[in-house]
Amino acid sequence: MYKLTVLYGHPTDPAAFDSYYWEKHLPIARTMAGLTGWTIGTCEPDPSGALPPYYMVVGLYAPSRAALEAILASPEGMATVADVPNFATGGSTFLWDEERVVVPVELPVTE
């Protein structure tokens, strides 16, 4: 499986980020067809209490890199990517990788 990880830096206004992300961005992103996995997590302090360098980490999965790029190149994908600057005041970093799996992952829908 291929994965795109999106790392969001700490926003200038976390409450505004959260509100926009869940109420505005997510409905736009949900219009993308073909994803075979999608996870969202807000980063928490590490065991020492230190804040990590990112605010949120998102995982988008597809069967291949070509499939993932095609999803992002669709009108719905382009609208989703174009919306990111509207809320990502702390910037965003994209990591592309083919997932190698040592212990199987099964994550049922929570949202």
Binding site for a second copy (CB under 8 A): 1, 3, 5, 7, 26, 30, 35-47, 52-54, 56-57, 59, 61, 65, 69, 93-111
Contact of 35 with 71, CB cutoff 8 Å: yes
Exposed/middle/buried for residue 15 (C-beta within 10 Å: 0-12, 13-18, 19+): exposed
Q: Which is nearer to a second copy, 13 or 99 (CB)?
A: 99
**Beta carbons of 9 and 71 less than 8 angstroms apart:** no
Smallest gap, in angstroms, from Cβ of residue 84 to a second copy?
A: 14
Min. distance of Cβ 86 from a second copy in angstroms?
19
Of 61 and 83, CB closest to a second copy:
61
CB 68 within 8 A of CB 60: yes
Q: Which two tokens stand for residue 63?
A: 């069967």
Q: Minimum distance from CB of 73 to a second copy (Å)?
A: 9
Q: Which is nearer to a second copy, 41 or 85 (CB)?
A: 41
CB 13, min distance to a second copy, A: 20
| Closer residue to a second copy in complex, CB, 43/67 | 43
| Residue 59, both tokens | 């995982």
The Cβ of residue 97 has, within 10 Å, a number of other Cβ atoms equal to: 10
